Each structure stands twice: as structure tokens, then as C-alpha cells.
Copies of this chain bind each other. A is one copy, B any other.
Amino acid sequence: MHTNRRKFITASVTGGLAAALPFTARSSGRLTEGLIDDKTGGAVPDYGKLDQAAAMPVFKKELFTSPVIIESLELLRLKDTFLCRVRSKDGAEGICVCNSLQMKSLYPIFVNRVQPFFIGKDARDLETIIEQLYVYGSNYKLQNLALWVPVASAEFAILDMMGRIAGKSIGELIGEIHNKQIAVYQANSERDITAEETIRQLKEQLAQSGAKAIKFKLGGRMNHPEYPAGRSEKLIPMVRKTFGDQMVISADANGSYGVEEAIKIGKIMQDYKYDFYEEPVPFDWYEETYQVAKALKIPVAGGEQEPSLHNFRWLIGNGALKVLQPDMFYFGGMVRSMKVARMARAMDKLCIPHITGDGFGYVYMMHFVSAIPNAGPFHEFKALSEDLPFQCKTSSLKSENGVVTVPSGPGLGVEIDPDYIKKHIVVKG
């Protein structure tokens, strides 16, 4: 943590993340210079290096000397809230608090397409199971959060169970511990409000979280015009002036722009020493993301909506993204996200995973961030659901002066009230 904070200070003084890590800049400005394999210049991305990084095992199966056979994997429902519970033949148990906002529409995918494949398998083979599950029942046709949220729910429950068996935190099951404490940035998620109102809200939010970094929303989202018109161009300088030079500031366009407008806005962000620029163009505009990244010095961030490991490989290899943001649920869990983080690291890029505020998302994200060496200096903080009765002995799970402590396990490191779990019913197909 303290290392990260020093990194941030250097970064904010000298121009943000771009200065904090040795990003390998390519500078000819050609649209696809990273891809060109000919005599005219340009370089082919070092895909070998990326493939090597992605192929390294993530889950530490060597911690387990005997099989852990999955006897049941259940989805539990209480109104619109979902839990996933796994049990082994030997009586071990793990729980995941699902992303219920999504699971509410995806539960038959869990029951029909995910659950059956896990039953009877050895949980130590988690990585292979997830790989095979992608082809099982032609699941690959559903490759996006529709498939990956159910898969992540199963994986998180299994990691909780395995952590409890081995006496390790989830982070310790998927890597070395690099971050026991995590500095957070304060995000403001509003659009369609004035620049002045955004400032007012950010001040109020900062007073609560004590964060040393800010993120706010630009543009109108997914190629739509913004309201009020001109809000972003006004807000970018105003946030810097209001919060001062030491504040680390980033902004998220959620795919608002075409290439030209994205570059124009990005240049204003550069002028005001912003830290990163999230989703300048729609997430499935690969070529255009690349074009925007090449035209700007400010690191472009993205990946929340990216469902494909192979496309992450392209985005990383070609330098279209410098800050990688796989969502812990949307991308299918820790094992798959770790492969993205490792590919990013191989190319000197950062990982700042995305998460939604629903359920325990933030706790899963903290465990993941604890285990990656190339985490960004600040991570999003989203308050935990207050409906959920739980105990955590090793962390308040709150932002204290802008810093959150990662629970130290075993497993998730959080105990959910057994009486609350009993109120749920098992979801059938």
C-alpha cells in the first residue's frame, strides 16, 4: 500500500499513471502499427510473451494433497438476492454472494449450462473445468457476462471452500500477496446533472470516503449526446481547479464518443493532468480504441465489457489499453481475470479491475487486487449491501482515510449469518 501511495505521488506530480510505469510508447501514429509484419516499419506485438503469461497456472492446486470432489453446487434465492453454495463430498462448504442485479436474469444459465458441469469434479482442477465449460453445451455462443457471471459465482464459492480447507485467503490461492491494504478512488456515477452539481456531489462523497483520488462520468454514454451540452468540457478543468494538483483524477466516458471527439476530450484531460481515460469509444470498437490510444498520451482504460481473453490479448499486445479493467463477475472470476492481469504485466501495463456495487463485489475485487503485482495505485470503492448480515474479523470493509484493508481469510474472510442463508430457496431450472 505505501509503495502504491508513493507511486501515486510521483505519478500525480509528473503526469499520472503514464509516468508511474515504463509504458512502451509507439509513436509513428499509424492506425495499426502494432500489427504490421512487413518491411515498412512497425512491430508485431510479442504475443509469445503474452501467451506465456496467460498459460501460467493461477490456482494453487499444490496446496491440496487429496481430491475435493464437488457434491453439490446450488444457487440460492431470497426474493431478488442470490447466493451460490458449493459442498464437497467430505463436507466442506463455500459461499458466494452473487451479483444479483445480473443473476436475476441469468439464473437459468447457471442451472442449465454451468451447474451440471461441476458436479462430481475435483475442485482442484478448477482451471481446467472453467476452460472446458466454455465449450460444454456450446456455451461459447454465450460468451459475455451472461455466461461469465454464473461461472464467476461458482468459482467464488469454490475458492471460498478451498480457502477454508487450506487456511488461506482467496488471494493466497491465486497468487502472492502484494497488497494487504488498498487505496480507493471516489467515483461519482451521475450524468445529466450540471458540472456544478457534480462538483458538489464529489465534495460530499470525498468527505465521507477520505479518498485521495476521484473518478467521474463524461459524455452521454454509448454514443449518445450528453446533457447538459458542454458539461464535460466545462467539468474537466473545474474538477482539477476545485480539488487541486495533488488529487489524482480520472474520468469515464462509457463509450460516449467517436474517434475525433474522443481525442479532443482526451487532450483536455491531458492538459489538466488526468490519470486515465476510461472507455472513450464504445467497448466493441477495437480499432477505434487503438486509434484514440495512439493519438493520446493519457493512458486509455477499458475492459469492463470485454468477455474474450483473446481480445484482451489483442488490446494489451497492441497497446490499445494501458489500464486493464476486467470485471470480477462479468469476466468469469479470479482465474480468468488473473490471466488478463498477467498479460498486462508482461507489457508493463496496470490492472484496475471493475466491479459493480451489487452484493460482495468489492470484497472479491479486494482479494484479487491483493494478489496482483501490477495493481493500479487506486481502486474503485462501492459500498456493501446493508441488507446482508455478515461478520468480518480482519477488516471493517470500509474506507478509512481512503484505504480499505483486505480481509485475511480463510477463504473470503467474511462469515455470512447462517440463519440468513437458511431463508433462501434452491433455484431449479
Identical subunits present: 2
Residue-wise interface mask of A (133-147) relative to B, using a CB-CB cutoff of 8 A (1 in contact, 0 not): 011000011111111
Task: Tell me whether A286 and B284 are in contact (CB under 8 A).
Answer: no
Answer whether residue A360 sits at the interface, using C-beta atoms and an 8 A cutoff. Answer: no
Answer whether residue A314 sits at the interface, using C-beta atoms and an 8 A cutoff. Answer: yes
Answer whether residue A264 sits at the interface, using C-beta atoms and an 8 A cutoff. Answer: no
The segment from A102-110, A117-125, A208-216, A370-378 that touches chain B is A102-110
Task: Tell me whether A222 and B37 are in contact (CB under 8 A).
Answer: no
Residue-wise interface mask of A (55-71) relative to B, using a CB-CB cutoff of 8 A (1 in contact, 0 not): 00000000000000000
Contacting residues, chain B, for A113 (C-beta < 8 A)? 105
Answer whether residue A4 sits at the interface, using C-beta atoms and an 8 A cutoff. Answer: no
Contacting residues, chain B, for A314 (C-beta < 8 A)? 286-287
Query: A36-B32, A113-B105 are known contacts. Are A142 and B146 too (CB-CB below 8 A)?
Result: yes
Which of B31, B305, B311, B330 has a CB less than 8 Å from the CB of A284? Answer: B311
Answer whether residue A35 sits at the interface, using C-beta atoms and an 8 A cutoff. Answer: yes
Contacting residues, chain B, for A30 (C-beta < 8 A)? 36-38
Answer whether residue A227 sits at the interface, using C-beta atoms and an 8 A cutoff. Answer: no
Task: Tell me whether A135 and B38 are in contact (CB under 8 A).
Answer: no
Provide the bound-state CA to CA distance between A311 and B308, in Å. Answer: 14
Answer whether residue A402 sits at the interface, using C-beta atoms and an 8 A cutoff. Answer: no
Looking across the interface, which residue of chain B has its beta carbon closest to that of A37?
A: B31
Task: Tell me whether A142 and B141 are in contact (CB under 8 A).
Answer: no
Answer whether residue A52 sits at the interface, using C-beta atoms and an 8 A cutoff. Answer: no
Task: Tell me whether A221 and B143 are in contact (CB under 8 A).
Answer: no
Task: Tell me whether A135 and B284 are in contact (CB under 8 A).
Answer: no
Answer whether residue A310 sits at the interface, using C-beta atoms and an 8 A cutoff. Answer: yes
Contacting residues, chain B, for A44 (C-beta < 8 A)? 31
A285-315 contacts to B, CB under 8 A, are: 285-287, 305, 307-308, 310-311, 314
Answer whether residue A219 sits at the interface, using C-beta atoms and an 8 A cutoff. Answer: no
Query: A37-B30, A135-B222, A222-B135 are known contacts. Are A143 and B108 too (CB-CB below 8 A)?
Result: no
Query: A108-B108, A224-B135 are known contacts. Are A35 and B31 too (CB-CB below 8 A)?
Result: yes
Answer whether residue A326 sits at the interface, using C-beta atoms and an 8 A cutoff. Answer: no
Answer whether residue A163 sits at the interface, using C-beta atoms and an 8 A cutoff. Answer: no
Provide the bound-state CA to CA distance between A193 and B268, in Å. Answer: 61
A189-241 contacts to B, CB under 8 A, are: 221-222, 224
Which of B28, B105, B134, B147 has a CB less than 8 Å from the CB of A108? Answer: B105
Provide the bound-state CA to CA distance between A30 and B32, in Å. Answer: 11
Looking across the interface, which residue of chain B has its beta carbon closest to that of A109?
A: B105
Provide the bound-state CA to CA distance between A28 and B224, in Å. Answer: 39
Answer whether residue A282 sits at the interface, using C-beta atoms and an 8 A cutoff. Answer: yes
Contacting residues, chain B, for A282 (C-beta < 8 A)? 140, 310
Contacting residues, chain B, for A141 (C-beta < 8 A)? 144-145, 305, 330
> Smallest distance from the beta carbon of A314 to chain B beta carbons, Å?
6
Answer whether residue A14 sits at the interface, using C-beta atoms and an 8 A cutoff. Answer: no
> Smallest distance from the beta carbon of A278 to chain B beta carbons, Å?
15
Answer whether residue A40 sits at the interface, using C-beta atoms and an 8 A cutoff. Answer: yes
Answer whether residue A112 sits at the interface, using C-beta atoms and an 8 A cutoff. Answer: yes
Task: Tell me whether A310 and B284 are in contact (CB under 8 A).
Answer: yes
A68-123 contacts to B, CB under 8 A, are: 104-109, 112-113
Return the 6 tightest CB-CB contacts between A and B, nearest first.
Answer: A146-B146, A32-B32, A284-B308, A105-B108, A40-B40, A32-B35
16 cross-chain CB contacts under 8 A: A30-B36, A31-B36, A31-B44, A35-B35, A35-B287, A40-B41, A104-B112, A105-B113, A106-B146, A107-B108, A142-B146, A143-B284, A143-B305, A144-B307, A146-B146, A284-B311
Which residues from chain A sit less than 8 Å from chain B, CB to CB? 28, 30-32, 35-38, 40-41, 44, 104-109, 112-113, 134-135, 140-147, 221-222, 224, 282-287, 305, 307-308, 310-311, 314, 330
Q: Given contact pairs A32-B35, A140-B222, enumerate 12 new A-B contacts (beta carbons under 8 Å).
A: A30-B37, A32-B32, A35-B35, A104-B108, A105-B109, A141-B145, A144-B144, A144-B146, A146-B146, A282-B310, A285-B310, A287-B314
